[in-house]
Amino acid sequence: MQWDDLRIFLAVARAGSVSGAANRLSVQHSTVSRRLRSLEEQLGTRLIERKKSGSTLTEAGEDLLASAARIEAEILEFESNRSGQGAEAAGVLQVSAINNMASTVLMPIFAGFSAAYPRIELHVQVSNKFVSLAERDADVAIRLTNAPTDTLFGTRMVTVASAVYGAPDYVDRLSAGDADELWLGVECCGFHRSWTKQACPSGAHNFFVDDTLLTLAALKQGAGLAYLPCFMGDGDPALKRWRAPEAQHDLGLWLLYHRDLRRTQRVRLFREFMMQETAKQRDVFEGRAPRGPDQAGQIRSAERV
């Protein structure tokens, strides 16, 4: 058996389908099917039961999964032990990041890392949901949380502040008492859903969105008020703060990885690069980077509060 075949089998077992494994490995569906059939022929047994609803492991598949996972752990340990300071960084690095960050404030950092380490093949995948680092859905996950799971290793990079935003004309009318507060029904994450419920306990919403980028777009159309991370709201001239950031809404931006990867050079280099570059933009993340006189006045008022 070749490790590449086992790696493909692991991906199918973890994704629950050939198509899911193909997406995870960034290869063709036909390649995964062909390599899986070849492995089954070599072993003389079926490993996967293919159904319309997906794939399930046979008894032999369950046994191979346990063995392949141990082999994977040994390979990771070997990589870690070989990742000394003098070794040239290379290999694949799978990074799972939050959509609104990956496409905005983090993208220049990702591009900078790729330019600095051209032999590291960087794969950025967007997901606002749980990814299993133990099952290698990704090597590194960048997440907003104040309570990371204790089964993972992690580094808190910066604090991310949030504030309430609306379109400038709408916020000005609110300030003048010429309009009522109208809140978007935000369902992008548990944080924003909970904060919105506290701000608008009646739950009287007639416009709902389930993604932060949709929230941003709706606010710019004057659809109401909503919480946004300051790195998004402050950076858009089509938005204005209605409420200043509050400490109770601060979240930690964490870089998380599995313990087996803690000494792998490409993970270590990525962690160090992210720490260095996010620190340079601490004011942006923490809502203390004014853009223009109006924003500057609002931010100074928030700091006095």
Strands 120-126 and 91-97: parallel
- The proportion of the chain whose per-residue pLDDT surpasses 70, expressed as a percent, equals 82
How high is the pLDDT of residue 228? 94
What is the tens place of the pLDDT at every residue in 8-48? Answer: 888 888 778 888 888 877 788 888 888 889 888 988 999 98
3-82, CATH topology level: Arc Repressor Mutant, subunit A (1.10.10)
Q: Which two tokens stand for residue 142?
A: 């960048």
Determine the residue type at 43.
L
What is the tens place of the pLDDT at every residue in 94-130? Answer: 898 988 899 889 999 999 999 999 999 999 988 655 4
Complete DSSP assignment for 1-31: --HHHHHHHHHHHHHSSHHHHHHHHTS-HHH
Which residue would you say has higher pLDDT here, 297 or 219?
219
- CA–CA gap between residue 162 and residue 228 (Å, rounded): 5
How high is the pLDDT of residue 81? 57
For CATH 1.10.10.10, the residue range(s) in the chain are 3-82
CA angle at 192 for the pair 250 and 108, rounded to the nearest 5°: 65
Verdict on whether the full-model pTM lies above 0.75: no
Model confidence at 300, pLDDT cuts 50, 70, 90, reads very low
Q: Give me the architecture of the 91-151+259-279 domain, per CATH.
A: 3-Layer(aba) Sandwich (3.40)
H or E stretch at 177? none
Give exposure, 102-116, as e/b (b: 16+ Cβ within 10 Å): bebbbeebbeebeee
Q: Give me the architecture of the 162-249 domain, per CATH.
A: 3-Layer(aba) Sandwich (3.40)
- Work out the average pLDDT over 130-155: 70
How high is the pLDDT of residue 82? 57
Give exposure, 184-199, as e/b (b: 16+ Cβ within 10 Å): bbbbbbebbeebbeee
- Work out the average pLDDT over 199-215: 89
- Are the CB atoms for 106 and 97 separated by under 8 Å? yes
- CA–CA gap between residue 67 and residue 3 (Å, rounded): 12
For CATH 3.40.190.10, the residue range(s) in the chain are 91-151+259-279, 162-249
How high is the pLDDT of residue 251? 92
Give strand pairing partners of 158: 253
Q: Is the pLDDT of residue 142 over 60?
A: yes
- CA–CA gap between residue 196 and residue 193 (Å, rounded): 5
What is the tens place of the pLDDT at every residue in 242-298? Answer: 999 999 999 999 998 877 666 678 888 999 999 999 999 999 999 986 554 444 334
Give strand pairing partners of 48: 57
